[in-house]
Each structure stands twice: as structure tokens, then as C-alpha cells.
Chain A
Amino acid sequence: MAVAGAMNLILQRHPIHSALSLIVVMVALAGLYLLLDAEFVAAVQIIVYAGAIMVLFVFVIMLLNAGAEERTDFSRMAHYAGIPLAAILLVVLAYRVARASAAMVAQPTAEQATRELSMLLFRSYMFPFELTSILILIAILGALVLAKGDG
């Protein structure tokens, strides 16, 4: 389902259709996180990605009144370099995964994983956490300045 949504994302020519299929991908990934016993990440995925970020995308698409993608002559660079590069990347990744998959067995996670996660986040990773809040603040200011700049 996630793969179908992602295929749809790059096959659609209208940006709003791509955005909607990206939401499908994100909800499917949240389900996979639940299967992986990562409840907190699943909730954050739904709230932040499918909620906030996608609302931002849809809002910008509608604000800019984006129509269907105009068909230009296909960039030669992308045509000759892109397809082989993507194919090589996929083959290498598939090879590594296929070779390494024997060693990978799902370990049982701790009970009350979210509680453990919060302990880890607010004790061991306190400084990076504060750093990300400063990053968010700078991003808000930057977005404001950019969008207001010559408007």
C-alpha cells in the first residue's frame, strides 16, 4: 500500500494528487510503526507528518494555485544519468539486504516502550532536544522573513 501510494506520488501530474497520495504513504507507514511496536513514533508520524506538514503542503499548493505540471522536453541529464543511478542504487541495496537479512531477527522490545523512550529522550538526549527546539525557532523566523520579504 505504501509502495502504491509512492508510485502514485511520482506518476501523478497534478501536485494536489501527489500530496494526497503522500498522505496515504504516511498513514501506511504509521501502521507499520505500530507493527514494529513503536507507538510513539506512529503517533508523531500521524500528528506531525500527516497533520502539520501535509496541511502546509496543501496550503501552499492552493495558495500558489498550482495547475498540472507542464510537459517540458525531458531533461537529458536525468534521462541518461538518473535511471541507471536509481537502478544501481536499488540493486546494491537489495543485495545488501538480501545478504544481511539472515542476521536480523526482531528482538522483543521493552514493555512500556514509550516510557523508556521518554527517559532516553529527556535524560540522555537532553542537549540535542534543546538544540532541535532552537532549530525550530530559527526555521519559524526564517520562514516568516522569507514569506514576508518581498510580498
Chain B
Amino acid sequence: MDSHDRRRSRRLGGVTKVVPISYYVTLSAVLFGLGIAGVLFKRNIITIFMSIELMLNAVNLAFVAFGRSLGQLQGQVFVFFVIVVAAAEAAVGLAIVIVVARSRQSLNVERVNLLKL
């Protein structure tokens, strides 16, 4: 048994086996549910954006966990792309928020029910 195999076996019997993948997936589901609750119940448009970011994070966690469980790296590549798209979405979305808040003088989504004033 060379050092590579030994490290691998130690990793299998060590920390990573204590925490099963299903815990990560459960945490991801809980975070996603909280994000949905935030989107549905919050009235502040910035907080709704943050809830969307929370859901994206939950999906990322699921990607990494499943990629780990299948022993593949494609999940992490996809997480990378999701993070990039989330950054783009946050930039555009917050610009829209600024414009809307300027024209409506309010951040409450219930006041923003017209596309054009």
C-alpha cells in the first residue's frame, strides 16, 4: 500500500464518513424552503433578492454534495457557473431595484404593481 492509497483509506474512514451526504442534501432542502418562504412572505424587494440568493446557495450545496457522492467533479464546475450567473443576476437585479426605488419612492413590492407610472 503506497502513500496515496493510505491517504485515501484514511480519508474514507475519517471525517468524511461521519457526516453522510444525506445530511447535506437535507440542509440544502431546508435552506431552499426557507428561501421560498422568504420570497413569499417578505415585502421588501431587497430581502426578496437575498432569499433568491439563499435558494441558489442551497442548490449549490446540493450540487457539491451529490458530486461528492458520485465521485465526480462536474458538480463543482456547475456550481462555478451558477455562482457566475448569480453574480450577473445580482448586478442587474440591484440596478433594477435602484431604478424602481427612485421612481416609486418605496421598496415595498405591494406598491410596485404597475410597470409604468
Q: Measured between alpha carbons, how far is A73 from B103 in the docked complex, in Å?
A: 23
The B interface, classified by DSSP as helix, strand, loop or mixed, is helix
Query: Looking at B11, B34, B89, B101, which has the most chain A CB atoms within 10 Å of its CB?
Result: B34
Q: Which residues of A contact B43 (CB under 8 A)?
A: 69-70, 72
Q: Measured between alpha carbons, how far is A129 from B19 in the docked complex, in Å?
A: 32
| Given the contacts A86-B40, A106-B68, A52 and B87 also touching, CB distance less than 8 Å | yes
Q: Are A6 and B31 in contact (CB under 8 A)?
A: yes
Q: Are B85 and A61 in contact (CB under 8 A)?
A: no
Q: Mark B9-49, 1 if CB is under 8 A from A, else 0.
A: 00110011101111011110111111111101111101101
Residue from A40, A64, A94, A97 within 8 A of B76 (CB atoms): A40
Number of A-B contacts (CB under 8 A): 232
Q: How many residues of B contact A (CB 8 A)?
A: 78
B88 CB within 8 Å of chain A: yes
Q: Are A106 and B17 in contact (CB under 8 A)?
A: yes
Measured CB to CB, the nearest residue on chain A to B8 is A108
Q: Which residues of A contact B90 (CB under 8 A)?
A: 53, 56-57
Given contacts A9-B50, A113-B76, A146-B98, 12 further A-B contacts (CB under 8 A): A38-B76, A38-B79, A53-B90, A60-B98, A69-B42, A78-B41, A97-B22, A107-B68, A108-B11, A108-B12, A125-B77, A135-B88
B-binding residues in A (CB < 8 A): 2-3, 6-7, 9-10, 15, 18-19, 22, 25-26, 29, 32-33, 35-38, 40-41, 44-45, 48-49, 52-53, 56-57, 60-61, 63-64, 66, 69-70, 72, 75, 78, 82, 85-86, 89-90, 93-94, 97-98, 100-101, 104-111, 113, 116-117, 120-121, 125, 128, 132, 135-136, 138-140, 142-144, 146-147, 149-151
